[in-house]
């Protein structure tokens, strides 16, 4: 039997539909939300991602102030750009498109960002807020996975969730998120990685397995229990080709699974805009 497809598009549409009246309310108050973007260099894939986010911001009635720095921009140039957007009241939230050229220390640059404007939720202050269950921008891909599972009616509370990968953009924040005390979380979470050679002993017993590695095809059918829910978050790009962590043969065993394209990606983008609107609401004092 074919598994249920956990598509991201309807989840993203529901998020955007929920954001539309909130954006209207902000504009009615005289505050049009703004998503600032900083692109360093001419990498075409990164340029495409930034253009897509700017276009979506415009579609939503938001502004999208953009700074494009040259390939040879220095760390000081990037820091100056971040500070410029920190000080710009028209920018509620911002991102520096990753990856940056090799002369840029991305993590160090991130520290310069006003944590309240960190749309990706990756600033250490925001990771701390997440760990403590305090309000703040939540990393977009983990937040999107929680929303994806909730939207498709996959029970998470009380279930065993195994996350393969403890990276800072996906595995680690997802573990923090899914252990929070909330109906759409409240899970028994295990995180496995290269320090656990027999990691499949853990993935095999989980009701939900999230692949968050970036090693193409690492999660295979023998690593999951029949009927399990499988979420593919990790990907590697070879040129424009996208190579997911989840081997296609997992479709033969899983009860529900994200499609190879169009699963976690659309929900990640939706959560970025949710973080931006929340930042705007905080700026005008109407945050929920």
Ligand X SMILES: NC(=O)c1ccc[n+]([C@@H]2O[C@H](COP(=O)([O-])OP(=O)(O)OC[C@H]3O[C@@H](n4cnc5c(N)ncnc54)[C@H](OP(=O)(O)O)[C@@H]3O)[C@@H](O)[C@H]2O)c1
In this chain, which of 193, 204, 205, 260 binds ligand X, going by CB under 6 A? 193
Q: CA 288 to CA 41: how far, in whole Å?
A: 37
Q: CA 96 to CA 66: how far, in whole Å?
A: 10
Nearest to 96 by CA among 176, 32, 187, 86: 86
How many residues are recorded in the chain?
Answer: 288
Scan for tokens 């403890």, then name that residue.
166
Is residue 212 at the binding interface for ligand X, with CB under 6 A as the rule?
Answer: yes
Q: Which residue's Cβ lies closest to ligand X? A: 167
Is residue 37 at the binding interface for ligand X, with CB under 6 A as the rule?
Answer: no
Residues within window 169-188 making contact with ligand X, judged by CB under 6 A: 169-171
Q: CA 245 to CA 166: how far, in whole Å?
A: 14
Total residues contacting ligand X by CB under 6 A comes to: 25
Q: Does 88 participate in catalysis according to the annotation?
A: no
Q: Are 271 and 15 in contact (CB under 8 A)?
A: yes
Is residue 238 at the binding interface for ligand X, with CB under 6 A as the rule?
Answer: no
CB of 195 to ligand X, least distance (A): 5
Element (H, E) at 211: strand 208-211
Segment 197-203 long-range contacts (CB within 8 Å, at least 24 positions apart): 199/164, 202/162, 203/162, 203/164
Is residue 233 at the binding interface for ligand X, with CB under 6 A as the rule?
Answer: yes
Given the residues 53, 92, 118, 247, the one annotated as active site: 53
Q: Does 75 participate in catalysis according to the annotation?
A: no
In this chain, which of 208, 265, 277, 281 binds ligand X, going by CB under 6 A? 265
Query: Which residues contact ligand X by CB under 6 A?
Result: 141, 164-171, 193-195, 199, 212-215, 218, 233-236, 264-265, 268
- For the annotated catalytic residues, the residue numbers are 53, 97, 120
């Amino acid at each position: 039997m074919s598994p249920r497809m956990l598509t991201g598009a309807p989840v993203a549409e529901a998020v955007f539909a929920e954001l539309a009246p909130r954006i209207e309310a902000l504009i009615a108050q005289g505050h049009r939300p703004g998503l600032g973007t900083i692109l360093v260099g001419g990498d075409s894939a990164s340029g495409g991602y930034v253009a897509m986010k700017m276009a979506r911001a415009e579609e939503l009635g938001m502004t999208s102030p953009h700074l494009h720095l040259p390939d040879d921009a220095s760390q000081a140039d990037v820091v100056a750009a971040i500070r410029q957007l920190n000080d710009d009241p028209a920018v509620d939230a911002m991102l520096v498109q990753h990856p940056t050229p090799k002369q840029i220390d991305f993590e160090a640059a991130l520290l310069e960002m006003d944590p309240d404007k960190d749309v990706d939720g990756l600033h250490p202050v925001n990771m701390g807020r997440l760990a403590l269950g305090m309000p703040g921008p939540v990393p977009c891909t983990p937040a999107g996975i929680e929303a994806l599972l909730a939207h498709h009616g996959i029970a998470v509370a009380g279930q065993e969730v195994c996350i393969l990968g403890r990276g800072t953009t996906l595995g680690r924040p997802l573990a923090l998120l899914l252990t929070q005390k909330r109906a759409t979380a409240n899970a028994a979470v295990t995180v496995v990685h290269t320090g656990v050679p027999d990691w499949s002993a853990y993935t095999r017993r989980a009701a939900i397995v999230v692949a968050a590695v970036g090693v193409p095809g690492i999660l295979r059918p023998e690593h999951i229990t029949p009927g399990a829910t499988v979420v593919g978050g990790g990907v590697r790009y070879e040129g424009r080709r996208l190579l997911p962590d989840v081997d296609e043969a997992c479709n033969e065993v899983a009860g529900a699974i994200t499609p190879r394209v169009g699963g976690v990606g659309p929900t990640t983008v939706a959560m970025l805009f949710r973080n931006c609107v929340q930042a705007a609401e905080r700026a005008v004092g109407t945050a929920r």
